[in-house]
Structure 1
Amino acid sequence: MLVQHLFFSLMERLKEIEEQWTSASKPGKEKLRNEMLQLRALSDEILDHWLTLEEKITQFQQEFSDELSVVDQEIEQMSDEVAAKILKEVKNLNLKEGKDPNLQAAPAPPPPSSPSTISLLTGDAAISFRRGQGYYNLFMFKQASKHFGELLEREPDLDIGRMFLAYSYMMDGQFELARHHFHLLSETTDHRLFRAIALNALGCLMAGNGKWEEAVFIFEKAIDSHSKLGDPLFNVALVYMKLGQYGEAKKSWLNYVERFSDDWEALFQLSQCFRHEGNLLLAEKTMERIYRATDDPELLWQVGQGFEDLRQFGNAALCYQLLVNLDPSKASAWHGLGWNLYHAEGYPYSLQYIQKAISLAPKNPDFQFSYGWILFYMGEWGQAEKVFQHVLQQEKNYPLALAGLVQIMIGKEHWEHVKGYCNQLILDEQTQTRALGHFLQGKAYLIQGNYTAAEKEWKQSIRENPKMKDSYLMLGLVQFLKGEKEQAMECWEYAL
């Protein structure tokens, strides 16, 4: 269509202006600025013409329309299934894992409404609705809220108008006004679908302010209002996870995936619940359902890392292979493939994949460390040492490279070098790095037969980083060797 072609051309030119801006000279930037203002003027002119056309269409509809009901009367007689279809695309702000759960994370699309529904509005009310919806579709939320506000002055009981107004305020960052109208809608509407949508949005606002317990209460009310609406169920499960209540979260995820089996993000979150309760087999099987049926790069990446955490290196490698297939230029995917293939099967050719990652991102120290680490375990100590030293030339005191050198020096029994590298780690600002230094020094003492010194180092490692389970394992080992079997079992039980 000509209109689509016009907007595509405008967007392409705007993108070119954006790309040229940073490298443009001062006169060049002035020229680009003027061109951008011309595009702005053209956009405004198109919008004015479009709104005029909308008004004419609305007036023409009124001439032959005998139906004078308002939108609530039509929705009231709809079945739940029809209502659900109309509002299917009302996608509230799901609290995605790994993101700050606030209302700015992902703007919701406008609540859709069918042409027949809109045609039931008459006069100025219809014009206000059309204008408000037009501005909303253009993401001009401030202007949209103005027209929806005018609509509600004429039709104060129009639920869909209040819902649009609340979403407009939300998208414009006026969260208190949005909260007011969502709350009012939830208290006054006779339609349980609208009530559930309003409550769900209120729950997101509570979660966005860190009021997790209140968010749970509101999401549960939304679920009670309309059990077929999936978003509140999804959101309450995420909030339970945020609160560390994985048992409650698991119940919600199981309920959700039973109805929405193609939501792979929900499956991933469910697998994390199984993992937290120690059911690693179910966690693995749940994640297998994901990589067999999705090509979402972000989700594949999460699943790959989840398999790594479970030490399921073969499954992790499969996820990274799929990522490589989707985007061969992604260095991290090549690195993940090589690293996990080596740990899964010990294949030397996995080094080729690490080398590919380094060629794509030559300054990434993690990739270089992985290359050196695999060389070390293949017995190529000389080459591995060169790699670690090269990393340290680029990144002074890089912890993993220092740890690699410690391992090589332990193998060579160069104890003074071991102590020197461990001290560099122990003097670091980061507690995790200091814990690593004490752990490695303890390992060196154990090999030398100095159990007392080794025990002291591992206890200090635990003090620095209580979550470092390898320190508990090694502390248990040295206690067992000293004949302190009960203490050893306590350490091992905690670690395992």
Structure 2
Amino acid sequence: MFQHMFSSMNDMLDQIIEHYECAGASEKQQYDEQIIELKKVSDTFIEQWLEFEEKFAEFKEQNETIDSVLASPEPSASQIVPPIESSATGMPDIEMSDELAVVISKGQGYYKLFMFSQAAEQFQTAVLQLPECNLARLFLGMTQMHLQNWNEAQRHFQLLIVLTDFPKWLAMGYNALGCIQAVRMNMAQAEQLFMKAYEVCPSFKDPLNNLKSCQETPKQLSLYFGSTELCCL
């Protein structure tokens, strides 16, 4: 997960560096917002890493056998326990308080009733309380798409593809970003994002439909950004 996250962060920063100087004022503002979010994510993990290192150093001092454990060969692939996923949905589990679960459930209720402004309030509350809750961020991004708040939706989907390694959510993130670029008539970027979404999760059909729409009828776009997928969650 962390390897994917930092690889995605580096890719995003490389893209910003490549296009920043030639970007217009509005694009530079978007890049500035992305840089701020990347820095926030980076700072958070640096702080957590330092906290881990301090705890580990104390533990190592108290247990003389740790050096021999660290010197032993790495476990084989068959010995590594896979990450826990929900058996019902195939989604990664995450620990959250009962209060936060209620907030997300309420947001999902509003979402399914097409009450997107109210849904956005609930999911925004959840993301502020637990930034690593990708389920809430996914719903928040989709809700902002329905409200046509493209910049805000883009920000959340860019963070989502950095923070998750769950294929379906990655694909939904890339696909939504492709839709945003298509709305802005940046067809080349949109098509690249749709292909990336398809490569990540071929069973998710919206990206190919969107790619076909961009190529055949760019002036009368019919875009699917994955919203209906959430009704099953």
TM-score between both structures, scaled by the size of structure 1: 0.26
> Any stretches of 5+ residues in structure 2 without a counterpart?
1-82, 220-233
Distance 1:172 1:121, change over 3 A: same
Which of 70, 74, 90 aligns to 2:85? It is 74
CA distance in 2, matches of 1:169, 1:133: 14
Match of 2:119 among 144, 148, 164: 144
Question: How far apart are 1:74 and its partner, in Å?
Answer: 2.9
Instruction: Give structure 1 regions of 4+ aligned residues with deviation exceeding 2 angstroms.
Output: 72-75, 120-123
Summarize the alignment of residues 305-320 of structure 1 with structure 2, pairs less than 5 Å apart: none
Change (3 A) 1:234 1:180: same
Shift of 1:154: 2.1
**Contiguous gaps of at least 5 residues in structure 1:** 1-71, 87-116, 245-496
Could you tell me which amino acid in structure 1 is paired with residue 141 of structure 2?
A
Corresponding residue of 1:235: 210
Distance 2:203 2:101 in 1: 30
Deviations, residues 336-366 of structure 1 (Å, cap 9, x unaligned): xxxxxxxxxxxxxxxxxxxxxxxxxxxxxxx
| Structure label with greater radius of gyration | 1
Alignment of 1:287-302 (within 5 A): none
1:171 to 140, 146, 169: 146
Q: C-alpha deviations, 1:341-393, integer Å up to 9, x for none?
A: xxxxxxxxxxxxxxxxxxxxxxxxxxxxxxxxxxxxxxxxxxxxxxxxxxxxx
- Tell me the CA shift for residue 209 of structure 1: 1.4
Which amino acid letter does the alignment assign opposite residue 155 of structure 1?
L
Distance (Å, rounded) in 1 between the aligned partners of 2:140 and 2:218: 32
- The residue aligned with 1:134 is 109
**Residues 243, 164 of structure 1: alpha-carbon distance in 2 compared, 3 angstrom cutoff:** closer
Which of the pair has the greater relative contact order for Cα pairs under 8 Å at 6+ separation? 2
Q: Which position in structure 2 is the counterpart of 1:189?
A: 164
Determine if the alignment matches structure 1 residue 203 to structure 2 residue 157.
Answer: no
**Residues 422-446 of structure 1, C-alpha deviation per residue, up to 9 Å, x if partnerless?**
xxxxxxxxxxxxxxxxxxxxxxxxx
RMSD between aligned alpha carbons?
Answer: 2.6
Aligned residues: 136
- 1:74 alignment partner AA: E
Quote the Cα distance in structure 2 between the aligned partners of 1:209 and 1:146: 26
> How much does 1:73 deviate?
4.7
Q: 1:134 to 1:226 in 2, by over 3 A?
A: same
Distance (whole Å) between structure 2 residues aligned to residue 129 and residue 220 of structure 1: 31
Matched residues in 2 for 1:241 and 1:172: separation? Answer: 26
- Taking structure 2 as the reference length, the TM-score comes to 0.53
Task: Give the drift of 1:173.
Answer: 1.9
**What is the DSSP-based 3-state SS (H/G/I as helix, E as strand, rest coil) of the residue aligned with 1:157?**
coil
User: What is the alpha-carbon distance in structure 1 between the residues aligned to residue 126 and residue 183 of structure 2?
Assistant: 29
Matched residue type, 1:163? L
